[in-house]
C-alpha cells in the first residue's frame, strides 16, 4: 500500500483509492508535443519517466480512415500501462489525423511517421536502456514492420492484429519476443487468422 493511503473497509473503495493515489504519484501532466515527420508536423503526447535511463515505449493507433487516433481508449490505456511501469512513453497521431499534417498513405507513410516518432523519442531521451513498441489493429501492423527495421526495439505488444487484412508474413521469423493480444470473438479480425500467422 502507498504511504498515506486512506484505509477502507470496502475493498472496492480501497482499490479505487489506491488507483487514484498511484495516478497522483506517477502522473505529471502529459505534455502535447509537436515534432517533424516526413509529411510535416506530427502531434503527440509524451510522458517522460522521472528515472534516468528508463525504458521507452512507442504506441501506435488504429486505422486512420476508420476513426483511429492517439486518443483511442486502448491506446490511451496502453500509454498509461507503460508509464505506470516506469517507461517514458510516446503516442502520436499518424499523418492526416488530428493536428498531424499530411494525408493517409496506405501504411507506407505511416511506417515513416512511426520511424520519425521513434527518432524523436530517442533524441529526447538518449539514455533509455530499452525500447518497446505497441500497436492496436492497423497500428500493430505498422509496429511489427518497424520492429523488423529497428534492431533497438526489444519487445512488442500487438493488440487485435488484423492478420486477415494486412500481410504479416514478414514476421517469419520474428526477431523479438512480445505479446499478441486478441479477443476470441473479434469479427473484424478473427482470432484464427492471427493464430495461423504466429504459430
pLDDT of residue 28: 54
pTM of the shown model: 0.85
Distance CA 142, CA 166 (A): 10
d(CA 129, CA 152): 10
Q: Which three cell numbers stand for residue 177?
A: 519476443
Helix extents (H) in 27-173: 73-84, 108-124, 138-149
pLDDT in tens, the chain (199 residues): 333 333 434 454 444 444 444 444 445 556 899 999 999 999 999 999 999 999 999 999 999 999 999 999 999 999 999 999 999 999 999 999 999 999 999 999 999 999 999 999 999 999 999 999 999 999 999 999 999 999 999 999 999 999 999 999 999 889 999 999 999 999 999 999 999 888 7
Q: What are phi and psi of 132, to 5 degrees?
A: -120, 160
Domain ranges in the chain are: 1-29, 31-198
For the stretch 167-181, pLDDT in tens is 999 998 899 999 999
67 CB neighbour count, 10 Å cutoff:
10
* CATH architecture for segment(s) 31-198: 3-Layer(aba) Sandwich (3.40)
Amino acid at each position: 500500500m502507498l504511504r498515506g493511503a486512506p484505509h477502507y473497509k470496502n475493498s472496492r473503495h480501497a482499490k479505487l483509492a489506491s488507483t487514484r493515489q498511484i495516478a497522483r504519484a506517477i502522473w505529471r501532466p502529459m505534455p502535447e508535443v509537436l515534432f517533424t515527420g516526413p509529411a510535416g508536423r506530427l502531434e503527440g503526447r509524451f510522458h517522460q519517466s522521472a528515472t534516468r535511463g528508463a525504458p521507452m515505449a512507442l504506441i501506435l493507433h488504429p486505422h486512420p480512415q476508420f476513426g483511429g487516433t492517439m486518443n483511442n481508449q486502448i491506446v490511451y490505456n496502453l500509454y498509461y500501462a507503460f508509464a505506470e511501469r516506469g517507461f517514458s512513453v510516446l503516442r502520436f497521431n499518424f499523418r492526416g489525423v488530428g493536428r498531424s499534417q499530411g494525408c493517409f498513405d496506405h501504411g507506407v507513410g505511416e511506417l515513416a511517421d512511426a520511424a520519425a516518432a521513434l527518432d524523436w523519442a530517442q533524441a529526447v531521451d538518449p539514455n533509455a536502456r530499452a525500447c518497446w513498441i505497441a500497436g492496436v489493429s492497423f497500428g500493430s501492423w505498422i509496429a511489427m514492420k518497424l520492429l523488423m527495421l529497428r534492431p533497438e526495439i526489444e519487445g512488442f505488444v500487438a493488440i487485435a492484429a488484423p492478420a486477415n487484412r494486412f500481410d504479416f508474413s514478414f514476421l517469419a521469423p520474428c526477431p523479438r519476443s512480445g505479446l499478441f493480444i486478441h479477443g476470441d470473438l473479434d469479427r473484424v479480425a478473427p482470432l484464427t487468422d492471427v493464430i495461423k500467422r504466429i504459430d
